[in-house]
Structure 1
Amino acid sequence: MNTPLGLATGRQAGGAPVLTVTGEIDMSNADRFRTAIADAMADGHLLTVDLTGVEYLDSAALAALFAHVDRLRVVANPLLGSVLTISGLTELTTVTILD
């Protein structure tokens, strides 16, 4: 059973946007994820994408992140650490893996 995708936007103390994602991101909902990233970046600030509540992501999710790699940073849980590293995302933007 897939865990539904949850998307919530907010602001950090300094006003920079945060997109908090929960559940699973795959080809069935990657368009929603991609749109949420673009919408959260509309004001031009660097976006933090919080993936600490994500249990699974596939190549469609990675493609959505890579499309905006110059304007985002990622916070993730250890479960996603290896896929973010192997994909090369950690070489292109700041990725923080929380314990």
Structure 2
Amino acid sequence: MPTLLRLHTDRPGHGSGLRLAASGEIDLSNVDDLKSALADAVAEIGSSGEELVVDLAEVEYVDSAAINVLSAYADAIHRIVVHPYLLSTLRVSGVTELVTVDPVQQ
């Protein structure tokens, strides 16, 4: 049974770029949805210079498949926002070396 993952994009403010928000868990069963959403977001911002923020503040779990996708898109992502309990996972995996990762402000 696939793990529940919800994804949506929005533009939180004038000229502030595009936000891809996820909630649930990201693992091998649904990582293709994340990959597709990231590809669509990157295509949407194109070469406009807009920033892409990936909001994982409501993501409870990521596995190595999710880490690989985030790493593959690191050049296009301006910032990743995570729940503090995911911060160490992204540090250990090296994602924080590729893109700015900030804990959500609670």
TM-score, length-normalised on structure 1? 0.91
Partner of 1:81: 87
- Pick from 80, 94, 99 the counterpart of residue 100 of structure 2: 94
Identical aligned pairs, as a percentage? 48
Partner of 1:68: 73
In 1: Cα distance, 2:89 partner to 2:5 partner: 19
In 2: Cα distance, 1:93 partner to 1:76 partner: 12
Structure 2: runs of 5+ lacking an equivalent: none
State the 1:15 CA deviation: 4.4
Comparing 41-50 with 67-76, greater Cα deviation is found at 41-50
Q: Which runs of 4+ in 1 moved over 4 A?
A: none
- Does the 8 A contact of 2:55 with 2:80 survive in 1? yes
Partner of 2:26: 25
In 2: Cα distance, 1:30 partner to 1:7 partner: 11
How many aligned residue pairs are there?
99
Comparing 71-80 with 9-18, greater Cα deviation is found at 9-18
Structure 1: runs of 5+ lacking an equivalent: none
In 2: Cα distance, 1:77 partner to 1:68 partner: 20
Matched, 1:46 2:51: yes
TM-score, length-normalised on structure 2? 0.86
